[in-house]
Structure 1
Amino acid sequence: MKVLNLQCSHGHGFEGWFGSEQDYLDQQARRLVRCPVCDGDQIEKLPSAPRLNLSGGRPPASRRAGQADERGAERSAGQGAAVPTKRPAPSRDAAGQRAESAAPLDPAVQARLEQLHAAWIETVKAVVERTEDVGERFTEEARRIHYGETEARGIRGTASPEQRAELAEEGVEVVSLPMPAALKGPQH
């Protein structure tokens, strides 16, 4: 089993589990590897530092070094470097090319981003529970409700930016809410 750290073009990080590197490459080539948050299919593999558990093996060097510290031995400079587990979303330049961040996110900023992400997920869950999914019929159904042709109720579905602009011109209020693929319902 191969566990890879992956990231979509919008900066959403997630793990992917594959039988082998070749399985990952095959699925990636067929655009089957998708972001669980935004359903994007432009996925890149991030660097990772795997740790192998070998039975009967020696403890990792970092733990051996830590044990030496407890006995009062000095550590040499450069030992014990930490690798962040969360990476900031990549910034993009005017041409859309990835630009590397100069510094990792402050832990307080990272914590706030995680809180906002959790709040977004909870909001989406609440919308899914309280609305009817009308799918591609969203524009038509929103008009029918607005003009009193059918009962008023909460609906959700898909509409293009042009369709949303047309609804706004008619006075039909709509809100765009990105939905993680995992909350949209079963995928077949």
Structure 2
Amino acid sequence: MIQYALKCSHGHCFDSWFQSAAAYDKLRAAGMVSCAICGDVQVEKAIMTPRVRPARNAAETPKPTPETQDAVPLSVPRNAAEQALAELRKRVEDTSDYVGREFVSEARKMHLGDAPARAIYGEAKLDEARALVEDGVPVAPLPFMPNRKSN
């Protein structure tokens, strides 16, 4: 399969998939390739950006320099605030138990003394979290989404 960026004589740009380059040529010659917007059959290939995958054994991303600061991956903190959030996340994950969607029931059990107190984090719907606060259960929202952990 091959994807082509196409352009009709009216200037509409669109993409389409073809079985092969020869299949595109054959369909175009038969007038069977038409604009997805206006139906024009005078369609030509447009300039495309190739999709190139990195090699499986490609080296790690180099550390950013002042010249390449804008090219930093989103997974790397860019400033002091992002660094502080990353450190908070690590501390919460290292010192607390993730209870997932059982957060509300676990927090309520600990508050009522039905379960031993411990640091937990997890997920709760907004109305459930409000109910915990209204009932005096000490909870606070985290400034990040927890990584869902599975068995």
Report the TM-score when normalising by structure 1.
0.38
Bigger-Rg structure (1/2): 2
- Bigger relative contact order (CA 8 A; separation at least 6): 1
What TM-score, normalized to structure 2? 0.46
